[in-house]
Chains A and B, each alone.
Chain A
Amino acid sequence: MKTAVIVFPGSNCDRDIAVALEAVTGVKPAMVWHGESDLPDGTGLVALPGGFSYGDYLRSGAVAARSPIMRAVVEAAERGLPVLGICNGFQVLTEAGLLPGALMRNEGLNFVCRDVALTVANAQSAFTSRYGQGETITIPVAHHDGNYFADAETLDRLEGEGRVAFRYAGEVNGSARKIAGVLNAAGNVLGMMPHPERRIEAAHGGADGRRLFEGLLETVGA
């Protein structure tokens, strides 16, 4: 499967996600600069990496979401192309309107950087098929703005439609209903604050993150 990693000024997990994608797909991802206007032909998955695009100016992900390549990403996502946004990538997806809600400053105001336990709330999606429903996995987080907010009606809808992919097992950042990752209505866009690309081999302390990429390869890879 051909994959593309979008690189914004200030992205800093772009190489980590590239290593994870290559390890699982066997193909080096295309690294696509934010100023490009098109995705490479045959792209089967787009990843928006973690980091601090544009220094988090204005709001985390706000400026990146209006960059030229994001027009192509939004268009492709609307056609059904799988898009995975991790950490800052999740913030960019909400700012771009591909996912509902917003990611606000952590409730405790501190940057949180540690392993967290996550519960798989929907194991039926293209991104989560290698996990068991309700399984607890361990994935690291590293963020300052991970406090997921949406109005009650939106939260009810997300839960009712099975669009909460992951929840924090404990308190991490004040997120509404402990939401750590959400899917779009069609199920082809996932945004999550935790970093699965940092958990792909034993040397990382575990490989719980690797299954997300393996699942994707199985469900959407050609």
Chain B
Amino acid sequence: MKLRIFVTLKNGVLDPQGKAIHKALDGLGFAGINDVRAGKLIELDVADDTSDASVDEMCRKLLANTVIENYRVERA
């Protein structure tokens, strides 16, 4: 079973990389960009019987730092 874990910065946490990307897009002449936030996508290939609880634990224990990040799991 394939899982896609999206790790994103929480609202209110400053994202210097997103800001830099935003500036670069502005510099390329793209208009109308209100905000840019950069995150991570982690793809896992796991045994079919892997429980939701176990995936959640993986996210909380390692894949995301819940002080600054949120995560969302998508089953492919």
A58, B13: Cβ atoms under 8 Å?
A: no
A150, B17: Cβ atoms under 8 Å?
A: no
Interface size on A, residues (CB 8 A): 20
Q: B73 at the A/B interface (Cβ < 8 Å)?
A: no
From B13, B61, B63, B68, residue with most partner A Cβ within 10 Å:
B68
Beta-carbon contacts of A126-155 to B below 8 Å, as 1s and 0s?
Answer: 000000000000000000000101100000
Shortest CB-to-CB span from A100 to chain B, Å, is: 8
A62, B16: Cβ atoms under 8 Å?
A: no
Q: A10 at the A/B interface (Cβ < 8 Å)?
A: no
Interface size on B, residues (CB 8 A): 11
Given known A-B contacts A105-B16, A109-B16, A150 and B62 have beta carbons under 8 A apart = no
| Chain A, interface SS category | loop
Q: B41 at the A/B interface (Cβ < 8 Å)?
A: no
Shortest CB-to-CB span from B2 to chain A, Å, is: 19
Which A residue's beta carbon lies closest to that of B38?
A: A105
B67, A62: Cβ atoms under 8 Å?
A: no
Query: Residues of B with Cβ closer than 8 Å to A?
Result: 13-14, 16-17, 20, 61-63, 65, 67-68
Nearest 7 CB-CB pairs, A to B?
A102-B67, A102-B68, A105-B16, A109-B16, A107-B16, A109-B20, A102-B65
